[in-house]
Structure 1
């Protein structure tokens, strides 16, 4: 039993040691990669890196907008500008709550502005291999976003072909976060 616990401890410690080598995100991988040069550096109190212009499928963006259009928000950009004085985020003083459809008149407005250009609206549909699918049932299908990562990795010259490297979800996220997309 002691050997089993020691073995598990050493395995966890070894995996922990190689986490976060290239990015400052936590628990996103167990092996180092080249992600560090793919994330945009930012100077914010709560993070140093972020994704930018990740291509989002037209259908996902439109469904997201349709689902939220009757909800209310007081801000266009949710990344910054909240009142945190109470310890939780609240609308800034003198802000006005409005329907999403008023703040974001189109699906593209919502997808690109809500998280300050983390996502980029595309004309691509799910299954095209050129845009991320935000919501899918992993019990019913493989992650469709791996093909998207492979597409952009090939386009960026990071791999020669889809069969030349097995892309993991963390690597896929790093590729999609690249400013080159």
Structure 2
């Protein structure tokens, strides 16, 4: 019995060591989730100041993953960034288009998406974002501004006819109002870019969801959000590493 308790004490010590011993590595990993640019077609290798970012991309000028030229192209109806035409079903209402420009600026310019970057094997990028928690008001505004504009698809990442060099609707797809393909705000935000976003239950300013736009004079609120999720991910990884030792402890207690 005494021997069993000695083993249990050693396992407890090993468990604590596993958790705390991993912290320097995790802290380093956390830095790799913060202030980073994804490996994409137009992203810079590292974020840096860009004083002349255009219009809706300007909030990121102090620390940007996009160049001035990228910010200019983000505002064109058919951008040279990806030859993508937002108006594939006729003119898009200006309020709706503004949301797509802002979405593009966030994707191209933000250095605060590290916790949601995933590796992919695609010809035009090696990384993407997945399930970024988008603030619910931003999602609701996007849907409300776009619901009476027209589209022919619910997933804009794939399935287009590219024979002309610009995305066109597949032959069998019919143009309908946005709210036909996206009956709810969540349907729009979650599905339009293959789950790049996942609409959050949190509100703007909560520190728990990513804002598509913000007043740079008040600072970038997405920095706090990225730190929160990076901390959560690193702490979860540390605890996961200690589970085998903790399980061994439980088994010994049951057998003693």
State TM-score, norm by structure 1: 0.67
Query: Over residues 88-129 of structure 1, what are the superposed CA-to-partner deviations in whole Å (9 max), with x where a residue is unaligned?
Result: 111111211111111101000000000010000111000111
CA distance in 2, matches of 1:78, 1:113: 8
SS at match of 2:228: helix
Q: Give the gaps of 5 or more residues in structure 1.
A: 1-20, 159-181
**Partner of residue 107, structure 1:** 185
SS at match of 2:162: coil
Q: Give the gaps of 5 or more residues in structure 2.
A: 1-35, 49-112, 236-256
How far did 1:36 drift?
A: 8.8
How far did 1:42 drift?
A: 2.1
User: Of residues 195, 203, 222 in structure 2, which corresponds to 1:117?
Assistant: 195
How far did 1:60 drift?
A: 0.5
CA distance in 2, matches of 1:135, 1:22: 18
User: Of residues 22, 39, 42 in structure 2, which corresponds to 1:24?
Assistant: 39
User: Of residues 208, 225, 230 in structure 2, which corresponds to 1:148?
Assistant: 225
- Paired residue total: 134
CA distance in 2, matches of 1:151, 1:122: 15
Once the two structures are superposed, the pairs formed by residues 3-152 of structure 1 within 5 Å of their partners are: 23-25=38-40, 26-29=43-46, 39-138=117-216, 140-152=217-229
CA distance in 2, matches of 1:52, 1:37: 9
**Partner of residue 12, structure 1:** none
**Partner of residue 104, structure 2:** none
CA distance in 2, matches of 1:105, 1:48: 32
SS at match of 1:108: helix
**Partner of residue 11, structure 1:** none
Larger of the two Rg values belongs to structure: 2
State TM-score, norm by structure 2: 0.48
How far did 1:28 drift?
A: 4.6
Q: What is the alpha-carbon root mean square deviation over aligned residues? A: 2.4
How far did 1:148 drift?
A: 0.3
Query: Over residues 144-181 of structure 1, what are the superposed CA-to-partner deviations in whole Å (9 max), with x where a residue is unaligned?
Result: 100101111221227xxxxxxxxxxxxxxxxxxxxxxx
Structure with the bigger percentage of helix: 2
